[in-house]
Amino acid sequence: MYPAYSVIFFTTASGAGYALMILMSLLAIVGMLPTERWFGLTGFLVGLIAVTAGLLSSTYHLGRPERAWRAFSQWRSSWLSREGILAVATFVPAGLTALGWVFFEEIWQVPALLLAALALATICATAMIYASLKTVRRWRNGWTLPGYLAMGFATGSLWLCLLCALFKVNAGPLLWLTLICLSLAGLVKLGYWRFVDRETGTATAGSATGLGRFGKVKLFAAPHTEENYLLKEMGFKIARKHAVKLRRIVLLLGLAAPVLAILIAARLPELTTFVIVPAVLANAVGTLAERWLFFAEARHVVTLYYGADAA
């Protein structure tokens, strides 16, 4: 599949923003975060800006962005519509939670819990947009949803560590929670890539045309003489050697480097800010590479009609 930059930014930024607000809400309820107004204001600004920017960028991948509002009407059958509704609904408890935190320096538990639930549901709905597509085997599997959740919380928890470091908040327990999130993200991605490498595709040209019972089906002639929309969007391919390099970037920059930074911060708290800042930047590069690969390595069944052996 063609890795559109607008969708890559949308899925990474919104996932991290929602995860940040989930963690802030839940950790504040149990007393692990301060109710100081500037801390809350900064955290919610970062989370809401990331979410809003991601949602707006997603419309640029549409042929008619001005008609994006019509997607809300298909909530009975479309995960895209459900994701849009949940995303908008999340702004209400987010605003109320931020209001209590910033103006009254209090954590209003009901809005905070509702925020965490809706934000989590939104991340899940975003993942299900892709996991529900029967035409893309590398998305329709049990690894897609955990992958979106794991990468979102890995980045969101890292952002929260940086926020705590900047405001001189004791982030001891949070550091270990972030370490767990980063480790789980690494395990999930390794599992997903193992599945991708072993998955050979259940659909073939023979099954797609119904001619498989007569023997192996091969493309006799190209459907047309030049590239069309389907080939551009659905027929994108990435060389195996490039995929391996990008996977290393994901693991080393996106996950391993932040893990090392967390371990240093836990051992030497006075260096927390100095190690977390580059860790956040490295994680951003690795996360973008991970999401680019997620789209680039996908294979749509329509490519069977253009010469692909399986999809």
For residue range 48-60, list pLDDT tens digits in order: 999 999 998 887 7
Higher pLDDT, residue 276 or 59? 276
63 falls in which pLDDT band (50, 70, 90)?
low
The residue assigned the tokens 């993200």 is 185
199: confidence class by pLDDT, cuts 50, 70, 90: confident
pLDDT score of 227: 74
Half-sphere exposure of 95 (CA within 13 A, CB side): 6
Report the distance separating Cα 21 and Cα 46, nearest Å.
Answer: 9
Instruction: Report which listed range, 174-183, 213-222, 229-238, is most confident.
Output: 174-183
4-26 mean pLDDT: 96
* Mean pLDDT across 90-119: 97
User: Residue 36's pLDDT band (boundaries 50, 70, 90)?
Assistant: very high
Which tokens hold the place of 149? 């959740």
More confident residue, 19 or 214: 19
The pLDDT of 208-223, averaged and rounded, is 75
pLDDT of residue 2: 84
Pairs from 258-263 (Cβ < 8 Å, separation ≥ 24)? 258/154, 258/158, 258/178, 258/182, 258/282, 258/283, 259/179, 259/182, 259/183, 262/161, 262/175, 262/178, 262/179, 262/182, 263/179
Query: Residue 205 pLDDT more than 70?
Result: yes
Residue 219 has pLDDT above 80, yes or no: no
Nearest to 57 by CA among 47, 68, 73, 72: 68
> What percent of the chain clears pLDDT 90, i.e. is strictly above it?
70
CA nearest to 23, candidates 3, 40, 6: 40
